[in-house]
Structure 1
Amino acid sequence: MTPPATNTAAPPASLCAPEKGSRRAEIALVAADQFTWRGYHSTRVEHIAEQLSVTPGALYRHVPGKYEMFRDAVATLVTALETASEHTSDVGSGPPPLEELVESITRTTWSHRSRAALYRWQARYLTPEDRAAVREVDTRVRRRLADAVRVRRRQHHRDPAGAGSAAAAMLSCVASLGQHRITLSEEEAVSLMTSIAVDLALCDGSASGVTSDATNGVPSGQATGRRTDAAAGASSVPRLRGGAATREGAITAAIARFHRSGYDSVTMEAIGADVGVAASALYRHFPGKSALLTAAVDRTATLFEDLLDTHAARHTSGADPAVALQDLLNEYVTIAFSHGPDLMLYLSELGALSAEDRQRTREAQRRQRNRWADLLVAAADASVRATRATGSPSTESHVTESHVTEALARARVHAALAVVLDGGQGTEFHPAAAARFGQLAGHILIPHRPG
């Protein structure tokens, strides 16, 4: 690869990463791991110092405070992502080949795998100025990917519409590698992401109900601007009375506020006001704010379990697994775009739970994803058997036996679900965007069929 491309604006000064090799850069990487694992508000400077075997005072000699450590961590990841997207082959001034661009971004993400989810989930805790700097970088990265997608679509005589959403989906897929610890080699991860990117690049953009570049410039987890019912959240919660109604209303209000403002900044008084009761009334149902968060997470976990159980009951063992998988995806898209803040909370605020509840929730998430993966493996196996039965090379898919391994199936599930949720968040869960991101996720999950 050649040096970074020219005519690329540098990130704003407020987002400058620490100098490589410096003590501050070392602190930033360790801080990123801690913030990723615990969440911003649950991470203390003592946690970071302990990992470096120093006192908190020793850290303050290099970094003024916790927020600056957090900003350094995000800046390190964002700068690495932009650098990866700037690498091109020496093929002129046009956009780089899609596979090369995706490989570069994937390898960079892989090198930061233990902390990659920080950028995806925690960036809302940045100041407005620093969030704007992150959006600028994200916009440039997405634009480079979208340009490469348009080149690929023109080469295949396809309408370039949909390049923006396809590029957003590719970044969500790569970012999902930081959301799990599935055992993959770096080469397997690169191969999987480039294969997915090729599929997404040629995915017809006609299903999009919003402009094809609607998600450009809005990093995952950082949608801003238009207020929707989902984003407005607490202000739309009705004034409720009665024990059960108060309890459910409090959970709904808490989800909206946690999603919008972050767990630490929300008070029981504010939640009570949204529901129309005094905070003291909430304490009859929840010992404290942490119990309310746990109840919110548990409610979303139950929503997922019910989705999977209902789907399994509807699709018997003799059903076409590809049809069953598509049906499950359709139902998930509906839930994601109607319960977006619930799902975001379910994935992003586990650090604020007790250790026991956090472990229990992560185990539930793992079981749920494995049920998806089992269905994907069955669909892929059926596709391979059908291809062999026809004996026609023209119907051979790039989704081969390697696709049906458990690890790769689980990685595809993570990628597909990330595309739906990130796409919803990036478009403020606009109903018109649901079909497009469901379509893109389908190209990741459903065994490829030519044409």
Structure 2
Amino acid sequence: MASRRPPNRKALIRSAASELFVRHGYHNVSVAEVAEALDITAAALYHHYRNKQDLLLQVILDGFESVDAVIREAKTLDTAIGSLATLVAGPKSLLGVWEREARNLEGSQRLTVLELQTRIVTDFQPLLRAARTELDAPESELVARAVLGTLGGQSSRRSVSRRKDERLMVRLASAVAHCRLPAPDPTAEPHRPDSGGTSSGVRRPRRDQLLTEAIRLFDERGYQSVTVADIGEAAGIVASGVYRHFAGKTDMLVAAMNRGGEHLRTGADQALGHARDPREALELLLRAHIDVTVKHRHLVGILTHESDQLPDKERIALRRYQADYLDVWVQALGAVRTGRDAADLRTTVHATHSMIHFVVRSGPTSRWPALPERLAALGTALLLAE
């Protein structure tokens, strides 16, 4: 007798797709592989979803809806944080595909995602302002995004104990939520993103222009969705002209990754070289990471999300560097927070980086004066959370 189709098959498809997208990346997963994970045919999957992009949209919307439901049901800030931590630590969390894969959607789908993301932040703000009446609207939005960034970056990281994960996430997110923001310094110079040299009136060499445009497009659309012709058009030259400077798209990605790694390496080296004690080393590392993220947000984006697209040799080298960079942070934090479990230290560092990246890459940064200083305060609260 033929088996009956489960009534929740659409939800099962989305859950399987989410796990595969998180583990392998959207472009590295086929519809057939999603179907195979559920022991159904691709034709059966297409009965529920038109194509893989439609499936990705529904996976992302599931994550947003589950988060927003938790926030809307919560009566207090602490209740919301506790429930969000439970959701993120759950075995079927759908949050891991938010930032990395949303750029693979088409225009109207991206707009839908952005609207829902804004709604989540908006729904979270009343809970924050009820607990912290001193926050104005832009400040409460900044802190709301910082809390969500802290939690969202942990959805694909697990220790052996789910309960331990939840407790740590609550502690980290609560520290961010209750962080006192410094008042803006009116004399401070604003941080500006890398403009490619155009704002000075002096254009960089053509190779640098091409690399700058490639970095931006790889981050905004995803490496596999960008062609050499797209990069040439953005830089104002024909596709054939690109090949006078780069052997191909892969060569550009390797050069971009090397540039991003060099920025982070230089910042870390300077921080450690100028520090007089462990606490100052941690503070300078934090400020250096913030500085790179604010100035080079697209570079940080591809370092975070496009390493799987590198050739084997370069991918292995990048992952080795990323592990070394993380280890520097873990050592610096461990020297200040002595006696802490190494896994907790790593999770705390990951949460700090995730918070910084999410705020800079998702929010209306022009509304937040003294953003680097405020990110430093939020990051310090997170790193030193009791």
Q: Given the two structures, how large is their TM-score scaled by the length of structure 2?
A: 0.84
- What SS class does the counterpart of residue 178 from structure 1 fall into? coil
Residues 273-329 of structure 1, C-alpha deviations (whole Å, 9 max, x = no match): 4445543343355432123223212321232223223333333xxx32111111111
Specify the alignment match of 1:223 in structure 2. Answer: none
In the alignment, which of 247, 252, 255 is matched to residue 215 of structure 2?
A: 255
One-letter amino acid of the counterpart of residue 166, structure 2: V
Corresponding position: 1:176 with 2:153: yes
Specify the alignment match of 2:296 in structure 1. Answer: 339
Specify the alignment match of 2:374 in structure 1. Answer: 436
Long gaps (5+) in structure 2 = 1-5
In the alignment, which of 124, 127, 143 is matched to residue 148 of structure 1?
A: 127
- Alpha-carbon distance in 1 for matches of 2:92, 2:310: 23
In the alignment, which of 280, 295, 309 is matched to residue 269 of structure 2?
A: 309
- What SS class does the counterpart of residue 125 from structure 1 fall into? coil
Identity %: 25
Corresponding position: 1:378 with 2:364: no
What aligned pairs does 1:218-233 form with structure 2 within 5 A after superposition? 230=193
- What SS class does the counterpart of residue 190 from structure 1 fall into? helix
Long gaps (5+) in structure 1 = 1-19, 89-95, 211-227, 382-400
Residues 340-360 of structure 1, C-alpha deviations (whole Å, 9 max, x = no match): 111011112234334554444
Cα distance change of structure 1 residues 184 and 437 upon mapping to structure 2, 3 Å threshold: farther
Q: How much does 1:84 deviate?
A: 2.0
In the alignment, which of 283, 295, 316 is matched to residue 326 of structure 1?
A: 283
Does the aligned pair in 1 maintain the 2:207–2:245 contact within 8 Å?
A: yes
What aligned pairs does 1:93-112 form with structure 2 within 5 A after superposition? 96-111=75-90
Does the aligned pair in 1 maintain the 2:63–2:95 contact within 8 Å?
A: yes
Specify the alignment match of 1:397 in structure 2. Answer: none
One-letter amino acid of the counterpart of residue 40, structure 1: Y
Q: How much does 1:419 deviate?
A: 1.7
Aligned pair count?
Answer: 373
Corresponding position: 1:116 with 2:73: no
Specify the alignment match of 1:70 in structure 2. Answer: 56
Specify the alignment match of 2:12 in structure 1. Answer: 26
In the alignment, which of 162, 170, 173 is matched to residue 194 of structure 1?
A: 170
One-letter amino acid of the counterpart of residue 440, structure 1: L
Larger displacement relative to structure 2 (170-179 or 33-42): 33-42
Cα distance change of structure 1 residues 345 and 236 upon mapping to structure 2, 3 Å threshold: farther
Does the aligned pair in 2 maintain the 1:49–1:55 contact within 8 Å?
A: yes
- Alpha-carbon distance in 2 for matches of 1:207, 1:355: 47
Cα distance change of structure 1 residues 239 and 62 upon mapping to structure 2, 3 Å threshold: farther
Does the aligned pair in 2 maintain the 1:77–1:116 contact within 8 Å?
A: yes
Does the aligned pair in 1 maintain the 2:290–2:356 contact within 8 Å?
A: yes
- Alpha-carbon distance in 2 for matches of 1:356, 1:25: 38
- Alpha-carbon distance in 2 for matches of 1:25, 1:357: 37
Does the aligned pair in 1 maintain the 2:151–2:173 contact within 8 Å?
A: no
- Alpha-carbon distance in 2 for matches of 1:45, 1:238: 48
In the alignment, which of 337, 361, 364 is matched to residue 425 of structure 1?
A: 361
Does the aligned pair in 2 maintain the 1:149–1:167 contact within 8 Å?
A: yes
In the alignment, which of 142, 161, 174 is matched to residue 185 of structure 1?
A: 161
- What SS class does the counterpart of residue 103 from structure 2 fall into? helix
Does the aligned pair in 2 maintain the 1:153–1:201 contact within 8 Å?
A: no
Specify the alignment match of 1:86 in structure 2. Answer: 72
- Alpha-carbon distance in 1 for matches of 2:279, 2:360: 24
Cα distance change of structure 1 residues 136 and 21 upon mapping to structure 2, 3 Å threshold: farther
Cα distance change of structure 1 residues 139 and 168 upon mapping to structure 2, 3 Å threshold: same
Specify the alignment match of 1:160 in structure 2. Answer: 135
One-letter amino acid of the counterpart of residue 36, structure 1: V
- What SS class does the counterpart of residue 205 from structure 1 fall into? coil
- Alpha-carbon distance in 2 for matches of 1:275, 1:85: 43
- Alpha-carbon distance in 2 for matches of 1:240, 1:195: 47
Larger displacement relative to structure 2 (41-50 or 419-428): 41-50
Does the aligned pair in 2 maintain the 1:231–1:260 contact within 8 Å?
A: no
Residues 225-247 of structure 1, C-alpha deviations (whole Å, 9 max, x = no match): xxx98498798799979xxx444
Specify the alignment match of 1:204 in structure 2. Answer: 180
Specify the alignment match of 2:104 in structure 1. Answer: 125
